[in-house]
Amino acid sequence: MPEIILSDYFYGDESEEFVYFKIPRQLITNPKFKHVSTDAKLLYGMLLDRMSLSARNDWNDSDTWRVYIYYTVEEICEDMTCGRDKAMKLLAELDTKKGVGLIERIKQGQGKPTKIYVKRFTTRTAPPKPAPPPPEPFAPISQVDFSNVQKSEIPTPRGGKNRRAAV
């Protein structure tokens, strides 16, 4: 059997010959994600990687423009070297319904793969809504001619007197 020689260091641009999965730092440092398992964080990084490929290929909903991916449980099992139960547990840990809310799974039915929407791990603050302008005070328009307006003969609560129309 040939001997495998491990090099101690990277030289020059050797580090560029590898493809890496990015795991956002906030998944490690933010207390909100402390209870999420390391395997689930790794899976989220793998989902992010696939999402960037889907975005380049225009895999998005036509009405909402949300990018989605297809990543079957079988593919997850193969890529993470785990069983089906573990893969399902990791997806549930990331899911909106049962887990931390980093992904949303939409079942297609009839043998079609589940659509997975990878969600943001950060929150965005919505810009404050501008206050509505104050209502303008009522001021009668001086250019309106009220000379031909008839007045009611029915008493009003203000004056209690009958008013007759000017003839």
The tens digit of pLDDT for each residue in 112-162 reads 889 999 998 876 665 566 677 777 776 666 666 666 767 767 766 655 555
Does 17 map to a domain? Answer: no
162 domain-assigned: no
Position 109 in a domain? yes
Do residues 92 and 114 lie in contact, with contact meaning Cβ atoms separated by under 8 Å?
A: no
Asked, for residue 111, whether it belongs to a domain, the answer is yes
102 found inside a domain? yes
The rounded distance, in Å, linking the Cα atoms of 43 and 18 is 18
> Residue 56's domain is classified under what CATH number?
1.10.10.10
- What pLDDT does 126 receive? 57
Query: Scanning the structure block, which residue is given the tokens 């997975």?
Result: 116
What average pLDDT does the chain have?
82
Residue 161 belongs to a domain: no
Nearest to 122 by CA among 13, 33, 4: 33
Residue with the larger pLDDT of the pair 76 and 16: 76
The answer to the question of residue 142 being in a domain is no
pLDDT value of position 43? 96
0.85 exceeded by the pTM? no
Q: How confident is the model at residue 20 (pLDDT cuts 50, 70, 90)?
A: confident
pLDDT for position 26 = 92
Q: Which domain holds residue 68?
A: 23-118
Give the distance, in angstroms, between the CA of residue 139 and the centroid of all CA atoms in the same chain. Answer: 47
Overall domain count for the chain: 1
Q: Give domain status of residue 65, yes or no.
A: yes
